[in-house]
Amino acid sequence: MEETTRYLILSLEGESFAIPITSLLEITVPRNLQKDAKLSEIFEGKYEYRGKLIPVINLKKVLKVGGGPGGSLIVIKSSKGVLGLLVDTAKELLEAKQQPAPLPRGIVNPSMRYYAGVLRNREDLVLLLNEDGLLP
């Protein structure tokens, strides 16, 4: 039997991105975010997740996509700890039989760590996010 890997597809201004389902902890709405003036511009505040305050980043600001902060909060775990991502929507689950293709060379600064590869979802190409590279 072919092995599949599952991903959560999320949307930012109409474009699709993905995170591995193994990193996903919760999908919710961004309510009661606690502002923290000490955090940099990409942070929208802190969110209480299971009794702990976790940082919430606005993924559109990280990727410089533009638009409002988004109506869904996705809580994920990363090597730097648990964090929240503000996105427009969590769209669907993707079961991929193929490994993600690497992002081709020469298109982003090699030191940039936001992407882990490219996935195919029907006719769409989906950028796979590197959950460990999103926090500064």
Partner 1 sequence: MMNNYLLFRLGERLFGVRMQGAIEIMPWRRARPVPLAYSYVEGVMDYRGAIHPVFHLAQLAGLSTPGPIGFTAPDQEAPKGKSIILLQEGNQPFGVTVDMVVKMSRLEDPEGNAPEVKGINPQLVRGVRFDDDQEIIILSFERLFHAG
User: Which residues contribute to the site for partner 1 (CB under 8 A)?
Assistant: 13, 15, 63-66, 101-110, 112, 114-115, 118, 120, 124-125, 127
To the nearest whole angstrom, how small is the minimum distance from the Cβ of residue 53 to partner 1? 28
Residues counted in the chain = 136
Q: Is 117 exposed, middle or buried (0-12, 13-18, 19+ CB in 10 A)?
A: middle
Q: Which residue has the tokens 């109506």?
A: 71
Which amino acid makes up residue 89? T
- Which is nearer to partner 1, 5 or 16 (by Cβ)? 16
- Which is nearer to partner 1, 47 or 88 (by Cβ)? 88
To the nearest whole angstrom, how small is the minimum distance from the Cβ of residue 31 to partner 1? 27
What is the rounded CA–CA span in Å between residue 65 and residue 59?
8
To the nearest whole angstrom, how small is the minimum distance from the Cβ of residue 99 to partner 1? 12
- Which is nearer to partner 1, 34 or 98 (by Cβ)? 98
- Which is nearer to partner 1, 12 or 24 (by Cβ)? 12
To the nearest whole angstrom, how small is the minimum distance from the Cβ of residue 7 to partner 1? 16
* 55 in Cβ contact with 80 (< 8 Å): no
Q: State the alpha helices, DSSP H only, in 1-136.
A: 59-62
* 56 in Cβ contact with 73 (< 8 Å): yes
